[in-house]
Amino acid sequence: MKFFLDTANLDEIREAASFGIADGVTTNPTLISKEGNVDFKQHIAAICEIVKGPVSAECTSEDTEGMLREGHEYSKIAPNVVIKCPLTRAGLKATRKLSDEGIRVNVTLCFSAAQAIMAAKAGASFISPFLGRLDDIGENGLLLLQDIIEVYRNYEWKTEVLAASIRHPIHVIEAARMGADIATMPFKVIDLLFNHPLTEKGQAQFLADWRKSGRK
Protein backbone atom coordinates (compact mmCIF):
# COMPACT_ATOMS: atom_id res chain seq x y z
CA MET A 1 0.00 0.00 0.00
CA LYS A 2 1.30 3.44 -0.92
CA PHE A 3 1.38 6.17 1.74
CA PHE A 4 0.35 9.70 0.78
CA LEU A 5 0.66 12.66 3.12
CA ASP A 6 -2.63 14.46 3.64
CA THR A 7 -1.24 17.91 4.37
CA ALA A 8 0.02 21.06 2.69
CA ASN A 9 2.53 21.77 5.44
CA LEU A 10 6.04 21.74 3.99
CA ASP A 11 7.75 20.88 7.29
CA GLU A 12 5.51 17.86 7.77
CA ILE A 13 6.05 16.79 4.17
CA ARG A 14 9.84 17.13 4.53
CA GLU A 15 9.79 15.15 7.78
CA ALA A 16 7.69 12.32 6.31
CA ALA A 17 9.87 12.31 3.19
CA SER A 18 12.92 11.90 5.43
CA PHE A 19 11.42 8.62 6.74
CA GLY A 20 11.41 7.42 3.12
CA ILE A 21 7.71 6.56 3.18
CA ALA A 22 6.03 9.45 1.37
CA ASP A 23 4.78 8.11 -1.95
CA GLY A 24 2.64 11.16 -2.69
CA VAL A 25 0.70 14.09 -1.22
CA THR A 26 -2.94 15.10 -1.21
CA THR A 27 -4.02 18.67 -0.58
CA ASN A 28 -7.42 20.30 -0.49
CA PRO A 29 -8.58 23.92 -0.16
CA THR A 30 -8.88 23.57 3.64
CA LEU A 31 -5.34 22.22 4.00
CA ILE A 32 -3.93 24.94 1.72
CA SER A 33 -5.74 27.68 3.64
CA LYS A 34 -4.19 26.41 6.89
CA GLU A 35 -0.80 27.42 5.46
CA GLY A 36 -1.81 31.09 5.37
CA ASN A 37 -1.76 33.37 2.39
CA VAL A 38 0.56 31.24 0.26
CA ASP A 39 0.58 31.42 -3.53
CA PHE A 40 -1.25 28.22 -4.51
CA LYS A 41 0.78 27.31 -7.57
CA GLN A 42 4.11 28.09 -5.92
CA HIS A 43 3.12 26.06 -2.90
CA ILE A 44 2.16 23.04 -5.00
CA ALA A 45 5.47 23.43 -6.87
CA ALA A 46 7.33 23.39 -3.54
CA ILE A 47 5.55 20.17 -2.53
CA CYS A 48 6.36 18.60 -5.90
CA GLU A 49 10.04 19.36 -5.31
CA ILE A 50 10.01 17.39 -2.05
CA VAL A 51 7.86 14.42 -3.10
CA LYS A 52 8.24 13.03 -6.60
CA GLY A 53 5.09 10.88 -6.49
CA PRO A 54 1.55 12.14 -7.25
CA VAL A 55 0.67 15.50 -5.65
CA SER A 56 -3.03 16.37 -5.73
CA ALA A 57 -4.03 19.99 -6.43
CA GLU A 58 -7.76 20.55 -5.99
CA CYS A 59 -9.93 22.62 -8.32
CA THR A 60 -12.12 25.26 -6.71
CA SER A 61 -14.34 26.02 -9.71
CA GLU A 62 -17.86 24.65 -9.60
CA ASP A 63 -18.40 24.30 -13.35
CA THR A 64 -16.70 21.96 -15.81
CA GLU A 65 -15.16 24.79 -17.84
CA GLY A 66 -13.56 26.28 -14.75
CA MET A 67 -12.23 22.91 -13.62
CA LEU A 68 -10.76 22.30 -17.07
CA ARG A 69 -9.10 25.71 -16.97
CA GLU A 70 -7.64 24.96 -13.54
CA GLY A 71 -6.70 21.42 -14.56
CA HIS A 72 -4.74 22.67 -17.56
CA GLU A 73 -3.06 25.38 -15.50
CA TYR A 74 -2.12 23.21 -12.50
CA SER A 75 -0.93 20.28 -14.58
CA LYS A 76 1.81 22.58 -15.95
CA ILE A 77 3.23 23.16 -12.45
CA ALA A 78 5.11 19.83 -12.40
CA PRO A 79 4.81 16.43 -14.09
CA ASN A 80 3.68 14.79 -10.84
CA VAL A 81 0.67 17.07 -10.29
CA VAL A 82 -2.68 15.26 -10.19
CA ILE A 83 -5.85 17.31 -10.57
CA LYS A 84 -8.46 16.83 -7.89
CA CYS A 85 -12.09 17.15 -9.01
CA PRO A 86 -15.15 16.77 -6.80
CA LEU A 87 -17.60 13.95 -7.28
CA THR A 88 -20.23 16.17 -8.88
CA ARG A 89 -21.66 15.98 -12.37
CA ALA A 90 -19.47 18.91 -13.40
CA GLY A 91 -16.47 17.25 -11.72
CA LEU A 92 -16.96 13.97 -13.56
CA LYS A 93 -17.35 15.73 -16.90
CA ALA A 94 -14.05 17.48 -16.24
CA THR A 95 -12.52 14.15 -15.15
CA ARG A 96 -13.49 12.53 -18.45
CA LYS A 97 -12.02 15.37 -20.52
CA LEU A 98 -8.82 15.74 -18.50
CA SER A 99 -8.15 11.99 -18.40
CA ASP A 100 -8.76 11.76 -22.16
CA GLU A 101 -6.00 14.36 -22.49
CA GLY A 102 -3.65 12.25 -20.36
CA ILE A 103 -3.99 14.40 -17.23
CA ARG A 104 -4.42 12.31 -14.09
CA VAL A 105 -7.45 13.07 -11.92
CA ASN A 106 -8.14 12.25 -8.28
CA VAL A 107 -11.92 12.26 -7.79
CA THR A 108 -12.62 13.46 -4.28
CA LEU A 109 -15.54 13.59 -1.84
CA CYS A 110 -16.68 10.03 -2.56
CA PHE A 111 -19.24 8.69 -0.10
CA SER A 112 -20.83 5.75 -1.95
CA ALA A 113 -19.86 2.76 -4.10
CA ALA A 114 -22.19 4.08 -6.81
CA GLN A 115 -20.19 7.31 -6.94
CA ALA A 116 -16.95 5.31 -7.08
CA ILE A 117 -18.28 3.38 -10.11
CA MET A 118 -19.14 6.67 -11.85
CA ALA A 119 -15.64 8.02 -11.17
CA ALA A 120 -14.01 4.89 -12.63
CA LYS A 121 -16.25 5.13 -15.69
CA ALA A 122 -15.19 8.77 -16.08
CA GLY A 123 -11.53 7.68 -16.25
CA ALA A 124 -10.36 8.78 -12.80
CA SER A 125 -6.82 7.75 -11.91
CA PHE A 126 -7.71 7.81 -8.20
CA ILE A 127 -10.95 7.59 -6.24
CA SER A 128 -10.96 9.07 -2.74
CA PRO A 129 -13.57 7.60 -0.38
CA PHE A 130 -13.68 9.68 2.83
CA LEU A 131 -13.61 7.23 5.74
CA GLY A 132 -13.51 9.58 8.72
CA ARG A 133 -16.29 11.85 7.52
CA LEU A 134 -18.63 8.84 7.20
CA ASP A 135 -17.66 7.67 10.69
CA ASP A 136 -18.40 11.21 11.95
CA ILE A 137 -22.06 10.87 10.93
CA GLY A 138 -22.48 7.41 12.45
CA GLU A 139 -21.80 5.42 9.26
CA ASN A 140 -18.86 3.07 8.67
CA GLY A 141 -16.24 4.45 6.31
CA LEU A 142 -14.37 1.14 6.19
CA LEU A 143 -17.46 -0.66 4.86
CA LEU A 144 -17.55 1.80 1.98
CA LEU A 145 -13.88 1.16 1.29
CA GLN A 146 -14.50 -2.58 1.26
CA ASP A 147 -17.46 -2.18 -1.13
CA ILE A 148 -15.43 -0.12 -3.57
CA ILE A 149 -12.48 -2.53 -3.56
CA GLU A 150 -14.83 -5.48 -4.07
CA VAL A 151 -16.63 -3.83 -7.00
CA TYR A 152 -13.43 -2.60 -8.66
CA ARG A 153 -11.92 -6.14 -8.48
CA ASN A 154 -14.53 -7.29 -11.01
CA TYR A 155 -13.18 -5.02 -13.74
CA GLU A 156 -10.02 -3.85 -15.41
CA TRP A 157 -10.52 -0.22 -14.44
CA LYS A 158 -7.26 1.65 -13.94
CA THR A 159 -8.63 3.72 -11.04
CA GLU A 160 -6.61 3.33 -7.82
CA VAL A 161 -8.47 3.26 -4.52
CA LEU A 162 -7.12 6.01 -2.29
CA ALA A 163 -8.46 5.75 1.27
CA ALA A 164 -8.90 9.34 2.48
CA SER A 165 -10.14 11.22 5.55
CA ILE A 166 -8.09 8.85 7.67
CA ARG A 167 -8.19 9.65 11.37
CA HIS A 168 -6.27 6.89 13.19
CA PRO A 169 -4.00 3.85 12.71
CA ILE A 170 -6.93 1.39 12.67
CA HIS A 171 -8.14 3.02 9.44
CA VAL A 172 -4.68 2.42 7.96
CA ILE A 173 -4.41 -1.19 9.13
CA GLU A 174 -7.89 -2.07 7.87
CA ALA A 175 -7.31 -0.29 4.55
CA ALA A 176 -4.14 -2.38 4.15
CA ARG A 177 -6.00 -5.57 5.11
CA MET A 178 -8.53 -4.88 2.37
CA GLY A 179 -5.85 -4.13 -0.19
CA ALA A 180 -6.49 -0.41 -0.75
CA ASP A 181 -3.92 0.88 -3.24
CA ILE A 182 -3.15 4.01 -1.21
CA ALA A 183 -3.89 5.55 2.18
CA THR A 184 -3.55 9.30 2.54
CA MET A 185 -3.09 10.43 6.10
CA PRO A 186 -2.27 13.46 8.21
CA PHE A 187 1.25 13.59 9.63
CA LYS A 188 -0.04 12.86 13.14
CA VAL A 189 -1.41 9.48 11.96
CA ILE A 190 1.92 8.57 10.37
CA ASP A 191 3.58 9.47 13.64
CA LEU A 192 1.14 7.26 15.58
CA LEU A 193 1.93 4.29 13.32
CA PHE A 194 5.45 4.19 14.77
CA ASN A 195 4.37 4.13 18.38
CA HIS A 196 3.98 1.34 20.86
CA PRO A 197 4.56 1.79 24.61
CA LEU A 198 6.32 -1.58 24.83
CA THR A 199 8.84 -0.48 22.19
CA GLU A 200 9.74 2.61 24.24
CA LYS A 201 9.82 0.63 27.48
CA GLY A 202 11.90 -2.16 25.94
CA GLN A 203 14.37 0.25 24.40
CA ALA A 204 14.81 2.14 27.69
CA GLN A 205 15.39 -1.18 29.50
CA PHE A 206 17.95 -2.42 26.96
CA LEU A 207 19.93 0.82 27.17
CA ALA A 208 19.75 0.93 30.99
CA ASP A 209 21.06 -2.67 31.22
CA TRP A 210 23.83 -1.88 28.75
CA ARG A 211 24.99 1.08 30.83
CA LYS A 212 24.63 -0.83 34.12
CA SER A 213 27.15 -3.33 32.83
CA GLY A 214 29.70 -0.49 32.69
CA ARG A 215 29.49 0.09 28.93
CA LYS A 216 28.93 3.51 27.44
Residues with Cβ < 8 Å from 3, sequence gap 6 or more?
A: 16, 21, 22, 23, 24, 182, 183, 184, 185, 190
CB of 29 to ligand E4P, least distance (A): 9
- CB nearer to ligand E4P: give 99 or 165: 165
> Can you tell me which of 3, 40, 74, 130 binds ligand E4P, judged by CB under 6 A?
130
Question: Would you tell me the crossing angle of helices 113-121 and 141-152 to the nearest 10 degrees?
Answer: 40
Cα 19 to Cα 47, 62, 162, 195, distances in angstroms: 16, 37, 21, 14
> Can you tell me which of 160, 165, 182, 189 binds ligand E4P, judged by CB under 6 A?
165
Q: Kindly calculate the radius of gyration of the chain based on its CA atoms and give it in whole angstroms.
A: 19
How far is it, in rounded angstroms, from Cα 95 to Cα 81? 14
Q: Judged by CB under 6 A, does residue 75 bind ligand E4P? A: no
Q: Decide if 212 is catalytic.
A: no
Q: Give 88's DSSP letter.
A: S
Q: Judged by CB under 6 A, does residue 132 bind ligand E4P? A: yes
Q: Judged by CB under 6 A, does residue 159 bind ligand E4P? A: no
Cα 118 to Cα 96, 150, 169, 187, distances in angstroms: 10, 15, 29, 30
How far is it, in rounded angstroms, from Cα 139 to Cα 7? 25
Active-site residue, selected from the candidate residues 41, 76, 84, 121: 84
Name the residue whose CB lies closest to ligand E4P: 165
Contacts (CB under 6 A) with ligand E4P, residues 13-72: 26, 28
> Can you tell me which of 68, 77, 105, 164 binds ligand E4P, judged by CB under 6 A?
164
CB of 6 to ligand E4P, least distance (A): 5
How far is it, in rounded angstroms, from Cα 141 to Cα 161? 13
> Can you tell me which of 64, 75, 80, 108 binds ligand E4P, judged by CB under 6 A?
108
Q: Which stretch binds ligand E4P (CB under 6 A): 12-20, 124-132, 139-147, 192-200?
A: 124-132
- CB nearer to ligand E4P: give 141 or 198: 141
Q: Which residue in 118, 120, 145, 119 sits closest to 131, CA to CA?
A: 145
Q: Judged by CB under 6 A, does residue 95 bind ligand E4P? A: no
CB of 8 to ligand E4P, least distance (A): 10
Active site residues: 84
Residues in contact with ligand E4P by the rule CB under 6 A = 6, 26, 28, 108, 128, 130, 132-133, 164-165, 184
